[in-house]
Amino acid sequence: MAFITPIRGLRYNPRLVPDLAEVVTPPYDVIDEAAQERYYRRNPYNVIRLEYGKIYPGDTDADNRYTRAGRDFARWRKDSVLIREDKPALYIYEQEFALGNRSLTRRGFFCGVRLSPYSEGQVLPHEETLPKAKADRLQLLRACNANFSPIFGLYADPVIEITGIFEPLIAKAPDIDFRDEAGQGHRLWVVADPDPINRVITKMAKLSIFIADGHHRYETALAYAQEHNCPGPHNNVMMVLVNLYDPGLVILPTHRLAKTPPDFDPAALAALLEPEFIVTPFAGPAEGFFAKLKELGHHSFGLYAGPGHLYFLTVRPDLDLASVMPKEKSEAWRNLDVAILHQLIIEKHLGIGADARTREGKVKFTQEETGAFQLVDSGEFGCAFFLNPTGVEEIVAVAEAGEKMPQKSTYFYPKLITGLVINPLDL
């Protein structure tokens, strides 16, 4: 069902850029202003100038972050800072990273994926998107005609056939091997041999792709292809595809911090939740709190509303979710922890609906546990809700039901790096 293709990617010229750690960045949507400035200063060829350029007070329609990216991109190609692959290729990509006291490796591969509407079922989303972010990415795509960062896609291959095709190919030394500023390892093998490429294409043609990260960029690329409305490279988008059954695939939870009114009473909220949740106070250390939350598992949450107000909230086993959750949603969606939290707590008892969560700043999303406690203690937020991670099976079930999860339902760790391979959309 998914149509993939090799791409003639652009990569940094090692003669001019011997240390890739100086020119790569995380994805643009996790880069704040301080990090942007740091990448600008690190190297004049840092990919930040293409992917997420600065905005200046004197910007005009003719000179702005998008037009500057287009000019830099054209100059870097002309000056051979970026060199195009001689032949179309797939790029095997390994990320080595630490999680707690464990060292893990996640393996995927860069390729082109033919763009198609979600309704066709070849590529499936799992999260909602916002118009503002798509407008930004569309302007960059129009100015540069290239994919600078890959979309993160998942496919289901429980017998590990596709990775098996790659095994003999990674016996040789990688074409790229370095560690980034966070200490994560990056290894890349260029595969231009038609035989393994065609075998992977054939296997992937039987599968669907689930978008893990990059929904805005996928929808933007689709809009850009529809603007051209003719055959060509712009009908494909660059992705890194990872097997759902890869041992290095990690999903972390994204917690919620909520604004509350001045007269907010944590004990009163706990009492209001009793009909639908088992509310259990917790008085131990934070480390024990999160270990217990993990042990409680599915349909359990943590609530912190200031000193002396730390609770576990567990959906009562006799609660009929179909009767209290939106009836137009699928069973898979109604069973999502994040959907239950939003519907039965944040909306029902705090009065914070979807618009207020996404546009009015009444909910902040974070992976930081200690930081969330501190933001509540400081008074910036009234309470914090802690979740367990969304499971892979839940992501697939919701996507296959043709629905999307609430925003920030998943956090795939680590993020893909930007700047290893660039996909130009010219011939």
231-277: pLDDT as tens digits: 788 899 999 999 999 999 999 999 999 999 888 999 999 999 999 99
- In angstroms, the CA 241 to CA 251 distance is 15
Which residue carries 């040789």 as its tokens?
Answer: 172
For residue 309, what is the enclosing H or E element? Answer: none
Residue 1's closest CA among 211, 208, 198?
A: 208
Question: What is the pLDDT at residue 358?
Answer: 61
- In angstroms, the CA 336 to CA 325 distance is 11
Give the pair of three-digit tokens for residue 411: 């956090």
Residue 248's closest CA among 99, 407, 374, 140?
A: 99
Give the pair of three-digit tokens for residue 27: 């994805």
Residue partners of 301: CB distance under 8 A and separation at least 6: 293, 312, 313, 314, 337, 341, 345, 385, 386, 387
**Strands 300-304, 310-315: pairing kind:** antiparallel
Question: What is the pLDDT at residue 195?
Answer: 97
For residue 50, what is the enclosing H or E element? Answer: helix 48-51
Question: What is the pLDDT at residue 229?
Answer: 81
Beta carbons within 10 angstroms of residue 355's beta carbon: 9
Q: Quick one: CA torsion of 166, 412, 29, 124, rounded to 10 degrees? A: 70
Residue 222's closest CA among 154, 143, 132, 151?
A: 151
Question: What is the pLDDT at residue 9?
Answer: 97
8-17 pLDDT, tens digit each? 999 999 999 9
Tens-binned pLDDT, residue by residue, of the chain (427 aa): 799 999 999 999 999 999 999 999 999 988 999 999 999 999 999 999 999 999 999 999 999 999 999 999 999 999 999 999 999 999 999 999 999 889 999 999 999 999 999 889 899 887 777 777 888 999 999 999 999 999 999 999 998 999 999 999 999 999 999 999 999 999 999 999 999 999 999 999 999 999 999 988 999 999 999 998 877 888 999 999 999 999 999 999 999 999 998 889 999 999 999 999 999 999 877 778 999 999 999 999 999 999 999 999 999 999 999 999 999 999 999 999 999 999 999 999 998 877 666 666 789 999 999 999 999 999 999 999 999 999 888 888 888 888 888 878 888 999 999 999 999 998 7
